[in-house]
Chains A and B, each alone.
Chain A
Amino acid sequence: MKNKIRTFLTSQGMISFIASVASIAIGLIFGYILLVCFNSGQAFNGLGKILFAGASSAEKFSKVLYQAAPLMLTGLSVGFAFRTGLFNIGASGQYTMGTFFALYAGLVLKCPWWAALLAAMLGGAIWGAVPGFCKALFNVNEVITSIMFNWIGMFLVNLLMANIPAMLAPNADRTANLAAANKSGIIPKWGLDTLFGSDYINISIFITILVALIIYLILNKTTFGYELKACGFNRNASIYAGINAKRNIVLSMVIAGALSGLGGGIYYLSGTAQYTIVKSLLAMGFNGIPVALLATSNPIGIIFSSIFVSYIQVGGEAMQPEFAKEIIDIIISVIIYLSAFALLLKGVIRKILSMRKAKQGEGVSQ
């Protein structure tokens, strides 16, 4: 029995988990030190808000889930591309494109919500496909293409929204009210709103968890997923083994784009958010990167890391006005930075565990 526990503790996944928890703890301690530096009187109160505000009421918790859903999808998008050895920094543009397609389907074509979500996936997929094609056919670095397409996507969406009637609210730079234009375009709530007492909650969190599970199955239980991962580990070896690396690069970016696009649809079809014409890239896409890194690109891990990031973000908002909510970003960045130390940390943990083992071994022999 003891042996079983020990093998469980020293297993790869468990050590990763312990390392992540340790990084999170250190990140929070660092955040607390910052709070003390800036406003020592309120620091303890502030830390309490970070840790507990997200669970303090049903309404706050529904806000956590509400923001976690799109975050999970952009995280999955970045993580999926990572597994194929691609860095999808273009999640923001794909997210914006998905938003546009979803809102066009909802506001102008009066589609039901599920059709609008499919449109969102299509929009994101198109925006992910271009960097994929550029990488596969012309050897253009996907990081650069994605960055360019973030901006092109944002300006294009702004241009299209300004020129399509019925998309923008009259005399405003935000999109028209979806509930008034097309009630069936709003993602249903299935009574969760009365249960939680909040407008923010809907079934999107279940949809996204389902998507995460599907991505997990694709990556780990199908030949296609195996090929994608093989390309990520060693592209030349996988080409030698007869895998069509170019096709896989494009497909990986298409799927990653579709995931980000779906994220945009999920967020803006909730009925509680309105897209505003923006001049800078949406943060939701970039926040997918830390979510993916925190979970080492594991789809199941991304479910938890996105909820965690959303949870402390809600805590950060509750911290205002005593503290800037950006302190949360600092905490998250420290956690990610520490995950670079993960290898080191894992080594230390393994050493501690095996040292115990050795000591116990001695005890038996005596």
Chain B
Amino acid sequence: MIVVADILSATIIFAIPLLVVALGGMYSERSGTINIALEGIMIIGALFGCLFLNATDNSGWGGKNPQLAVLLAILIAGAAGLIFSFLLAIASVSLKADQTIGGTALNMFAPAFAIVLTWAIQGQGQTTIGIPNWIPIKLSIFGLKASENPGFFERILFKNFYLTTPIVLLILVVTVFVIYKTRFGLRLRSCGEHPQAADSVGINVYRYRYTGVMISGFLGGIGGLAFTIAAGSGFQSTVAGYGFFALAVMIFGNWHPVRIFGAALFFALFKVIGSYTGSIPFLPSFTGVKSADYIYQMLPYIVTMIVLIFTSKKSRAPKAEGIPYDKSKR
């Protein structure tokens, strides 16, 4: 049972960054812009979030107000992502360039910039920005004492509990509301489906696309920090391809916030199973095969592929995504 609790806990913690970044991608694609730069945006968000956390740790203020510091770090990570994604918006909305070009450039820029900046701040060859140890939310914050042998639910909730988890879940709820129940959401979706029609009724397509991309930048930045906190071994100028996984999760979730949540949990679960194979008794252990853990590490990707093959016939991408909007074209 304890293994199950640990697996569930790890699943949640890895689903959170996927969820928030995929939601970000959804905002951008619903407005009609493919955001392939999510990976780079995550890195920039994580970079500035971690630098801020470190700065508060060094000054001693962070240790005294841990959760306030984490909240500020989340906002800073989001703001950094937002500013960074502005570059993508300029290239793909205003300049009407091929949307993969701007995205590729940002993806290439972000890790290189992170490494160069880390060197400059921490000295030559120092490539890791450590994260302080006061980030997790402990039971003691609620005035409770942690039990010596934590039970099932305590393990699920408090083994890895960070402020990012409730915030991202809140973002999910807000997203469902915004996309389907507000005027803004309706207009955003119309820009991704048929921008000419949207324009004809007076909606400023460019402005909505800018907004969509920049919301995705904000959420992508938060996702980068959430990933780095969850991974736990400090920031090393990479988010291990999670930006691209988030893109897959978004397509898997059919551009729909609740389904994206399900897809993120699904992908994270298989990812976690891959790293817990040793402690799950009923999984075959492939004796006689060397380095058999690679089989389980392939698993989440293979399962996602199979699911995509079966669900893609019904897949409904926003119709106008990837096509720069040009007023003068019909």
Binding site for B on A (CB under 8 A): 34, 38, 87, 89, 134, 138-141, 143-145, 147-149, 151-152, 155-156, 158-159, 162-163, 280-281, 286, 289-290, 293, 321, 323-324, 326-330, 332-334, 336-337, 339-344
Which residues of B are found within 8 Å of A89, using beta-carbon distances? 244
> In this assembly, does B95 line the interface, its C-beta being within 8 Å of a C-beta of chain A?
yes
Which residues of A are found within 8 Å of B104, using beta-carbon distances? 289-290, 293, 336
Interface segment, B55-63, B140-148, B299-307?
Answer: B299-307
Q: Are the CB atoms of B308 and A145 closer together than 8 Å?
A: yes
Q: How far is the CA of A167 from the CA of B228 in the complex (A)?
A: 35
Using CB atoms, name the residue of chain B closest to A337: B105
Which residues of A are found within 8 Å of B105, using beta-carbon distances? 290, 333-334, 336-337, 340
Q: Are the CB atoms of A152 and B109 closer together than 8 Å?
A: no
Q: Are the CB atoms of A330 and B116 closer together than 8 Å?
A: yes
8 A–B contact pairs at CB < 8 A? A140-B315, A144-B251, A145-B308, A151-B301, A159-B292, A336-B104, A336-B105, A337-B102
**Given A159-B295, A333-B108, A340-B98, does the pair A147, B116 have CB atoms closer than 8 Å?**
no
Q: How far is the CA of A159 from the CA of B291 in the complex (A)?
A: 6
Q: How far is the CA of A364 from the CA of B203 in the complex (A)?
A: 50
Other A-B pairs beyond A138-B313, A290-B108, A329-B108, 11, CB < 8 Å: A87-B100, A143-B36, A143-B247, A151-B301, A155-B294, A155-B298, A163-B291, A326-B115, A327-B116, A334-B105, A340-B101
Q: How far is the CA of A286 from the CA of B109 in the complex (A)?
A: 13
Kindly provide the distance from the CB of B313 to the nearest chain A CB, expressed in whole angstroms. 6
Residue among A141, A328, A340, A341 having the largest count of chain B Cβ atoms under 10 Å: A340
Q: Are the CB atoms of A280 and B116 closer together than 8 Å?
A: no
Which residues of B are found within 8 Å of A134, using beta-carbon distances? 305, 308-309, 312
Which residues of B are found within 8 Å of A159, using beta-carbon distances? 289, 291-292, 294-295, 298
Using CB atoms, name the residue of chain B closest to A164: B290
Q: How far is the CA of A57 from the CA of B120 in the complex (A)?
A: 30
Which residues of B are found within 8 Å of A158, using beta-carbon distances? 291, 294
Q: Are the CB atoms of A155 and B297 closer together than 8 Å?
A: yes
Q: Are the CB atoms of A329 and B109 closer together than 8 Å?
A: yes
Interface of chain B residues 115 through 132 with chain A (CB within 8 A): 115-116, 119-120, 124-125
Q: Are the CB atoms of B108 and A341 closer together than 8 Å?
A: no
Q: How far is the CA of A358 from the CA of B297 in the complex (A)?
A: 65
Kindly provide the distance from the CB of B159 to the nearest chain A CB, expressed in whole angstroms. 25
Using CB atoms, name the residue of chain A closest to B297: A155
Q: How far is the CA of A163 from the CA of B309 in the complex (A)?
A: 30
> In this assembly, does B87 line the interface, its C-beta being within 8 Å of a C-beta of chain A?
yes
Which residues of B are found within 8 Å of A330, using beta-carbon distances? 109, 112-113, 116
**Given A38-B116, A290-B108, A332-B108, does the pair A141, B251 have CB atoms closer than 8 Å?**
yes
Q: How far is the CA of A147 from the CA of B248 in the complex (A)?
A: 8
**A321 partner, pick from B115, B124, B304, beta carbons under 8 A:** B124
Q: Are the CB atoms of A151 and B120 closer together than 8 Å?
A: no
Q: How far is the CA of A328 from the CA of B115 in the complex (A)?
A: 12
Q: Are the CB atoms of A147 and B244 closer together than 8 Å?
A: yes
Q: Are the CB atoms of A163 and B290 closer together than 8 Å?
A: yes
**A140 partner, pick from B109, B241, B309, beta carbons under 8 A:** B309
Q: How far is the CA of A159 from the CA of B105 in the complex (A)?
A: 33
Q: How far is the CA of A140 from the CA of B101 in the complex (A)?
A: 22
> In this assembly, does B207 line the interface, its C-beta being within 8 Å of a C-beta of chain A?
no
> In this assembly, does B139 line the interface, its C-beta being within 8 Å of a C-beta of chain A?
no
> In this assembly, does B240 line the interface, its C-beta being within 8 Å of a C-beta of chain A?
yes
Q: Are the CB atoms of B308 and A329 closer together than 8 Å?
A: no
Which residues of B are found within 8 Å of A149, using beta-carbon distances? 301, 305
Which residues of A are found within 8 Å of B91, using beta-carbon distances? 337, 340-341
Using CB atoms, name the residue of chain B closest to A38: B120
Q: How far is the CA of A317 from the CA of B30 in the complex (A)?
A: 42
**Given A145-B308, A340-B105, does the pair A139, B116 have CB atoms closer than 8 Å?**
no
> In this assembly, does B106 line the interface, its C-beta being within 8 Å of a C-beta of chain A?
yes
> In this assembly, does B238 line the interface, its C-beta being within 8 Å of a C-beta of chain A?
yes
Q: Are the CB atoms of B298 and A152 closer together than 8 Å?
A: yes
> In this assembly, does B97 line the interface, its C-beta being within 8 Å of a C-beta of chain A?
yes
Kindly provide the distance from the CB of B51 to the nearest chain A CB, expressed in whole angstroms. 16
Q: How far is the CA of A158 from the CA of B298 in the complex (A)?
A: 11
> In this assembly, does B185 line the interface, its C-beta being within 8 Å of a C-beta of chain A?
no
Which residues of A are found within 8 Å of B106, using beta-carbon distances? 333, 337
Which residues of B are found within 8 Å of A163, using beta-carbon distances? 289-291
**A162 partner, pick from B119, B241, B291, beta carbons under 8 A:** B291
Q: Are the CB atoms of A156 and B98 closer together than 8 Å?
A: no
Q: How far is the CA of A139 from the CA of B252 in the complex (A)?
A: 13
Q: How far is the CA of A152 from the CA of B297 in the complex (A)?
A: 8
Nearest 10 pairs between A and B by C-beta?
A340-B97, A329-B112, A337-B105, A333-B109, A326-B112, A333-B108, A159-B294, A340-B91, A162-B291, A336-B105
**B294 partner, pick from A34, A147, A162, A340, beta carbons under 8 A:** A162
> In this assembly, does B45 line the interface, its C-beta being within 8 Å of a C-beta of chain A?
no
Kindly provide the distance from the CB of A302 to the nearest chain B CB, expressed in whole angstroms. 15
Which residues of B are found within 8 Å of A336, using beta-carbon distances? 101, 104-105, 108
Which residues of A are found within 8 Å of B92, using beta-carbon distances? 340
Q: How far is the CA of A329 from the CA of B43 in the complex (A)?
A: 15
Using CB atoms, name the residue of chain A closest to B116: A324
Kindly provide the distance from the CB of B185 to the nearest chain A CB, expressed in whole angstroms. 24
Kindly provide the distance from the CB of A240 to the nearest chain B CB, expressed in whole angstroms. 18
